[in-house]
Structure 1
Amino acid sequence: MVKFSSASFLACAGLVTALPSSLLSLAGLSAPDSVQIESRSTGGNVTTKGIARFDNNNIWDGQGNGTDTYKLYLGNGTTAAGWPSIDSWISFGNMFENYKLQIQWACQNLNWRLPNNNADEIEAIYNGIQLAANATGVDHRLILAVIMQESHGCPRVNTTNLGVRNPGLMQNHNGDASCNDNKKLTTPCPTPTIHKMIMEGTAGTSSGAGLAHCINESGRGDVSDYYRAARIYNSGSISKTGDLQSNIATHCYASDIAK
């Protein structure tokens, strides 16, 4: 899927720092130089050995509270290329707590006319991540990082369509769940809708891949699968060079997820 979400151009979500950065993403477009990834159906789960994770109920699974820094990662997503190992990732519990204030104000930060999240919507985002993670084997920290990259955690983020319709918290591939489609707002956003937004972004839709499919498509069996999956989720493909900053859509997308 090719995604041109305005939120993804501005967000800097990270698995290592997990705190908002003041730096803007280096968004841009380039000519396609890639192997295309096929669309996948709904209900995906991670099958790559060593990467599938079904113990996401453990929310204290990382390295403390993180730091508010930004580093631009280049190359193929491997630790040999300088990308973070999974042992250096922040815990999900700390990560969500760090982002909670940003999530609360996410909608007005995107558009001052949008109502901000209430406590029930924030709780629904948290629970939706856990439900999707446990159903698909995708690490809950990756799901949260993609949500922050795509929508800052605003369930009323606009449904974009620049060739591919991208609704909801994860701006997924033509999913059903949205609380802002053609400027038709739903406030508050119902809990089942929020849960479905996250499940569609993680497990896929009838039109395209979710994070689980993207991880399987990467298929390396190491931490680079997460960063490669983020790039596939953003642009639908990885450059033939293997470098995650190459190709169309948001060039630093995978780096923003990792930072």
Structure 2
Amino acid sequence: MLTQVVALQAIIAASALAAPSKEIQEGAPHVLVSNPSSQQVTSSDAFSSGAGNNDNANIYDGTGDVGTDQYDCYYGGWGSFPAKSQWIEFDAMWNNSKSAMSTSCSDLGVGSCSDGAGAFGDGDNDEQIGLIWNAIQQVAESSLVDHRFILATILQESSGCVNVCGSTNPDPSQPDNPGLMQSDGGSTFVGNSASTSDQQQSIIQMIIDGAQGTSDGDGLVQCINQYGNIYEAARCYNSGSVDSSDLNDGEGATNSYVNDIANRMTGWLYADNGFDSC
């Protein structure tokens, strides 16, 4: 997630959702960090910009349509990126994404993380996809992070694969980035053989780690409270530092990250990532 992480291109099938690059670590579950579930969006600017949401129970927020599956280019500061009035509703984003999540782990490549696989188990099955929905809604309502931003970040970081391998930090003194949101030193999925209740709690924890932070690093909440909008918050989450005048400056991380998030918020899913032409 952060600047220290070295990227290794994940090869995704042409019909699959694009996933971020990452260097791979073994897939054994990480010891859970303390639960920061009290962390909430408090920035008044965030509620004006849409990053904060007091009504995540409303899944029909947004434009009222499914958006457009195309990749557009945005430049400069966050004000040049799509306003919340242009974001599709959560229900549409979710329904658009379910088919991609159902093949997300196989698209990443299932095997040993240490041997270069992108996922350490099959998934997502229909039940696991439902558990992700439950977890997003629970964490969104407790954190006040807009649920669409959480879902967009999950799609960006892991394609929604519960068994995604973590990103290995080349600096052994720094935490690795595991889980659905590739959080700082957070938790890895408990595994397909676990009970439904244990899988649900594991998925909730992975989303808490990314949305509300861990003892090792910031989540979306902390970045939103610092910057007040999803675009600078996305750059903060990906890079750890932000050039507010040029959000396409990855600061050593993924240059396209903020453009990718912006396009996910307006309906992009399968169309080619056109950032190289931006």
Alignment of structure 1 residues 112-123 onto 2, 5 Å: 112-113=110-111, 114-123=121-130
Give CA deviations for 1:205-244 in whole Å, capped at 9, x if unaligned. 111111011001114xxxxx111000000011102x6311
Matched, 1:154 2:154: no
The Cα shift of 1:179 comes to: 2.3
Alignment of structure 1 residues 1-259 onto 2, 5 Å: 2=2, 4=5, 42=36, 43-50=38-45, 51=47, 52-63=52-63, 64-78=65-79, 81=80, 83-113=81-111, 114-162=121-169, 163=171, 164-175=175-186, 177-179=187-189, 186-187=192-193, 190-219=199-228, 225-239=229-243, 242-246=245-249, 247-259=251-263
Aligned 8 A contact 2:78 2:232 in 1: yes
The Cα shift of 1:20 comes to: 7.2
Residue in 2 aligned with 1:222?
none
The Cα shift of 1:7 comes to: 8.8
Aligned 8 A contact 2:56 2:141 in 1: yes
Q: How many residues align?
A: 224
CA gap of 1:159–1:122, structure 2 versus 1, over 3 A, is same
TM-score (norm 1): 0.78
Alpha-carbon distance in 1 for matches of 2:179, 2:7: 13
The Cα shift of 1:5 comes to: 7.6
Aligned 8 A contact 2:180 2:206 in 1: yes
Which consecutive unaligned segments of at least 5 residues does structure 1 have? 12-18, 28-40, 220-224
Residue in 2 aligned with 1:15?
none
Structure having the higher strand fraction is 1
CA gap of 1:93–1:5, structure 2 versus 1, over 3 A, is farther
CA gap of 1:100–1:179, structure 2 versus 1, over 3 A, is same
The Cα shift of 1:67 comes to: 1.1
Alpha-carbon distance in 1 for matches of 2:259, 2:17: 13
Give CA deviations for 1:185-207 in whole Å, capped at 9, x if unaligned. 55467111001100111011111
Give CA deviations for 1:117-143 in whole Å, capped at 9, x if unaligned. 112210111111001110111000000
Residue in 2 aligned with 1:37?
none
Which consecutive unaligned segments of at least 5 residues does structure 2 have? 22-34, 112-120, 264-278
Give the 4+ runs in structure 1 shifted more than 6 A.
Answer: 7-11, 19-22
